[in-house]
Structure 1
Amino acid sequence: MKRQVKKSLVLAFSMVVAGVLVTNCTKKSTLAEEPGSSGQWAEKSGKAVVAADVFKHPGVLNTKESLDIIGNEVDASPTGARGIAYNQVKSYVDNVQPSNAYVAVVTVAGGSSPQSETNFKKDAILSYALALRWAKTGDAQYATKAKNILNGWAYAFQSFAVTGGESRQAALEASWAAPNFTAAAEILRRYTCRNGATSGWSSTDINKFTSFLNNLNQNYIDKVVNTYHMTNNWAVSAGYAKMAIGVFEESLNLYNTGLGIIKERLPNLIQADGSMPGETCSHDDFVHFQYSLTGFSYAANIAAIQNDASVYSDGSSRLRTGYIYLDKIIRHAVTDPCGVTWDNSQIQPGIDIANRRYNTVETNRIQAMGDPHGPTGDNCFLGFTTYTHHQVFP
C-alpha cells in the first residue's frame, strides 16, 4: 500500500466550501482492514441522501464565486498572502511538464511506483494546476494544456495492471486519481473566466472523458466497498471520488452513494475522542490518519457546495474532533490507544478547509505548521488549498 507525506487572506462570502491537496506517496506492501460495516453500496439503489436534484457548478472543490474571489485578490495584491499562495500554482505549472505518455494499461504496484502510474497521477495533479491558472488568467494556453492531458488519458486509458505488492492497489489508485482529474474537468467544463473566456472543451471530448470516469468508478472505485469491503481511508477516498464524479456527471444517484459512504464511515472511523485506531493501529503512523481526515474534509467541502454542510457537524462534529486529536498528538498532549506517536509527517492541506470551517485554536495551530500548502512532489491528492480555500467561503 502507498503512504503519502506532505508539508504543510481573510474573507467571508456566503455560500459554500471547496478544497483539495497534494501529498507525497511512498508505499507499503501490506494493508490492514479496519473492522466495521461491509454493506453493499450500489448506485442502482437510488436512495437519496441529499434531496437536491440540481447541482451547483462548478461544484467540485471550487465554485464560480471562490475562483473569482481568489483571482481578484491576487490581482489586487500580487505580493500579498493570496498572491504568494498563487505562486505555488504558477511554479508547479512552469516546472512540471505533461507526460505525453498516455497508455491503454497503467501499471500500478504496492511498494513501488511504476512509470506509467507516476505519469497517470502526476498528470492529474498538473491538469488541475493548469485549470487553476487558466481560471486566474483567462489565458487559453493553460486551458489547452489541461484539456490535452484530460483528453490524452480519456482516449487512451483502458485498464490498470497490478504488478506487485497489494493486489487491490488499482482500486485505491482510481479512488485517488479520479477526483483529481474531475476537479480539473469541472473547472474547464463549467467555469467562465472573469474576462469572459471559456475553455472551449468540446462535447465529444467531454463525453469521452465521462466514459473514462465511468470506467474508473465502475471497474475499480466501486470495488473498494462492494468487493473488498474496505472501511478505512480507502473507503473514505472512494466515497469522495464518487461524490466528485457524481457532481461532474450530474448523477444524484452516484453523488448520494458517495455521500452515504462518507456519512457511514465518519462516526465509525473517527472515535468520540478523535482517535482512529483503525488507522494508527494498522499502520503505526499518522499518515493514514491524515488520509482519512483529508478525504472527509474534501467530501464535506463538496457537500457544502451543494448546500449540505452536515458532514462538518455529523457525529457531534467528529471531523473537528479528529483534527483536535491530531493537534494533541503533534504536541504530545495525548497518548494514542495503540501507542503510536507523531512521526513528523508533513501536514496535509486539507487543514485549510477544516480551519476555515472550524477556526479553533487547534486547527489554527495545525494550519500554521506548513503554510502555504502547495505541491511537494506528491501525486496522490490535490493541493494548493492555501490559494483556493484559505478563509474563502464562496
Structure 2
Amino acid sequence: MSYKKHYRYFLEQHPDSLHCSPHSHHYWPDVTRAAQLAYWDDSARGVDHKWNTIFGERIPSVQHLLAELLDHPAPEQFVFAGNTHELLYRVITCCDPAQPLRILTSDGEFHSFSRQVRRLEERGNVEVVRIACEPYSDFAQRWRRALQSQPFDLVFCSQVFFNSGVVAPWVETWIDEIPTTTQVIIDGYHGCGALPTRLRAVADRIFYVAGAYKYLQAGEGCCFMSVPRNTPLRPEYTGWFADFANLAKPQQQRVEYANDGLRFAGATMDFTALYRLEAVLQWWREDNISVAQIHQYVQHLQQAFLQVIDSLAHPLLKRENLLVDDLSHHGHFLTFQLSSAEEVAQLADKLQQAGVETDYRGKRLRFGFALYHDVDDYQRLKKALS
C-alpha cells in the first residue's frame, strides 16, 4: 500500500528528492493545509472570543485524540505549549531552588533538557548523574543500578534516544525502583506516533512530553505533556492559561492552578499547529491507521533499505557501520557511525547532490523513514553512490 497520495503538496515541491530525514523535519500530510486555514477562520469569526472555541472545542478534541493514541485514561490531563522545553522546565520549577536538586538522566538526551540542566548545575546545589547510553546492550542494567544507588528528585529519560534511534528501557519496567516522591519525565518525542505507546499503567505517575514536529507530522509549534492526576505540584514558571477557567474571579494573594493538565499551561500561543495536529489524528482515526500499522510499515521500509545497502557493498554506508543493527529495539531512523565527522559530512553532501536528503550529527549519519516512502524509492541510493 502506498500513502504518498496523502502528501501531494509537499511531494510536488520536491519531485527529485528522496527525503530521508523525516525524524528531523517531517513532511506534512495534505489534511494539515485546510487545518491551517481553519485556525484563521476561527480567529476571524471569534476575534476576542476565539479562546472559547479553542479551549471549549479544539483543545478537548485533541486531548481525546491523544488519549486514544497513547491509551491514556484521562484526556483532560494533556497540556499544550509551543515547545517541550517550556513544559519540562515547568516541572523543574516545582522544585525549591533553595534546596538541593538531584537529577538522574542519560548522556543521550536532546538539547532542550541537556542544555537546561547544565545551566542549572551552575547553581552549585544541583547534582546531575548521567548514565552513558553506550554500550546500549547493557544500558538497562546500568540504568536500574543507578536508580537504586541513591534517591533522586527528578528522573528524565527518552523513550527513543534522539542521536541513535535506540529504544530506551520503557518506564513501566523500572518505575517501581524509585519512591513515589520522585518526579519522572519521559521524553517521547521520537516515540510518539512512531512506536505503539501505552500510558495507562503509568499515567498517574509520570510526565510524558512529546510534540507534533516529527512523527505526528503536524509541524512545529504544538508540543504537549501528560500530567499525573491530582498532582499537588505548583510550577513557579506559570502563565494565565494555568487557571483559565477562573480568570473572571478575584485573584487572591495565593496563586491558584487548574486541577487538570492545564495546571502546567503557560500563556498566549499560536494554536495553528494544534489545528494541524487535530487534522492528522482525525485522518488516522477515519482511515483506521494505527501507530502499530505505521511502525510495521516503517520496519518494512527499513528492511528494504538495508537490502539495498547490502547490495551496494559501499565502503562506508554498510551494515557493519550501523550503530545498532536490531530493528526490534529501534525507532524510525537508522544511524551509521563513521570514523570522523568530516567523512560523514562528505558522504551526506554527496547524497544530497544526488537528491537524497539525510542529516548528521558529528560522526553519525541518520536515515529516516516515513509513510511517504515506498520500498522502490531506495533504488535511488544505487545511483547516488555509484
TM norm structure 1: 0.25
Q: Which has the higher strand share?
A: 2
Larger helix proportion of the pair: 1
